[in-house]
Amino acid sequence: MIDKQLLGNYMSNSPLKGHNAARSPSRYLALHLRFEVDMVAYSLCEFGGGENEKKELQAYREIHFPLLIERLKNLKPVSPTELRKLGRCPLTPEEAALVLSALGFKHGTYIISGWV
């Protein structure tokens, strides 16, 4: 039943051959593919855009996240490289594709995106 709730009209009405819902759970992957300026700026990470990107993200932070800027003044700076090593940076679209590929998803796999 959960599959129908998650996929709505995208799910087939006919049961899968050999699939017994009472015996084994259905498998799915929930992936949040959001890579937008607010989330990128808030993360304090760098994404290879050089000095221009750093300046733009800092300006965005100062306008949209003044409390974050205030809090950072009282903390020891953390390098973007260290944040990435700790896994605290959002994946770029390219990195997300590499992860999906490593998990065995094929090039033609459909990814349904939407707000929950």
pLDDT digits (tens, 9 = 90+) for 7-40: 566 555 655 555 555 555 556 666 777 788 899 9
- Whether the predicted pLDDT of 56 surpasses 60: yes
Q: Which residue matches tokens 């006919």? A: 14
Q: Please compute, for residue 32, the number of CA atoms within 13 A of its CA located in the half-sphere on the CB side.
A: 7
Q: Which residue matches tokens 């094929």? A: 106
Identify whether the C-beta of residue 90 lies closer than 8 Å to the C-beta of residue 35: yes
Q: How far apart are CA 60 and CA 49, in angstroms?
A: 15
Q: Which of 28-32, 50-54, 84-88 has the lowest mean pLDDT?
A: 28-32
**Residue 73 in 3-state DSSP?**
helix
Domain parsing of the chain, residue ranges: 2-102
